[in-house]
Amino acid sequence: MTHTLVLASQSPRRQELLAQIGYVFSCEPANINEDIKENENAVDYVQRLAIEKAQATYHSIGAPQNNDVVVLGSDTSVVYNHCILGKPANLDECITQLQMLSGQTHQVLTSIAAVNLDKVLSKVVTTEVTFKTLTLDEITRYWHTGEPQDKAGSYGIQGIAGQFVTNITGSYSAVVGLPLFETAQLLSKFGVNTPIQLISKENI
């Protein structure tokens, strides 16, 4: 059976990562409320958002009455000392966030969720990232590159900020926005396979 895969995101980074491992898909961004609920921890937050994004897109495309359509949602949060760091609204917020991360190890939580007519499955991937000590001048100059403005935690590891990272434990692609191994494993449970997975099954 051929399945239609829909990515519930307009993130160029997630699109590039999903295409990188051979998936063919369309994009239909989800419009949901991303506010943190009272007493909601970071794991629950990213998991809820990934599921809600996938479900919102599934319904926005007409809630197909068969299992031919699978929607993939994802959400990424940068967490330091149990505090979720969102996208900075201005230079001051960027400075505050990056000074928190300077010389420290923080967590990046990325959740993926897949939805079809019958089921919803999700997984949260945690990666630890350690930064070198940053000066105020470095942070200010980084802000003016334009890169931090739309990034959770005020940085993009795949860009200029890659030079800040002294160590990473876990999935690099999850920090960018989509954990490749876990995504392929999750989608295979819906019968949505990469070309490599298809070849492997055919050769068995």
Q: Which of 35, 44, 68, 75 is catalytic?
A: 75
Contact 65, 129 (CB under 8 A): no
Phi, psi of 54 (to 5 degrees): -65, -45
Tokens 């479900």 map to which residue?
Answer: 55
Tell me how far apart the alpha carbons of residues 6 and 174 are, in angstroms, rounded to a whole number: 19
Q: Is there a catalytic annotation at residue 118?
A: no
Provide CB contacts within 8 A for 159, sequence distance 6+.
147
Closest CA to 125 of 56, 194, 187, 172: 172
Q: What residues form DSSP beta bridges with 70?
A: 5
Q: Would you name the residues annotated as active-site residues?
A: 75
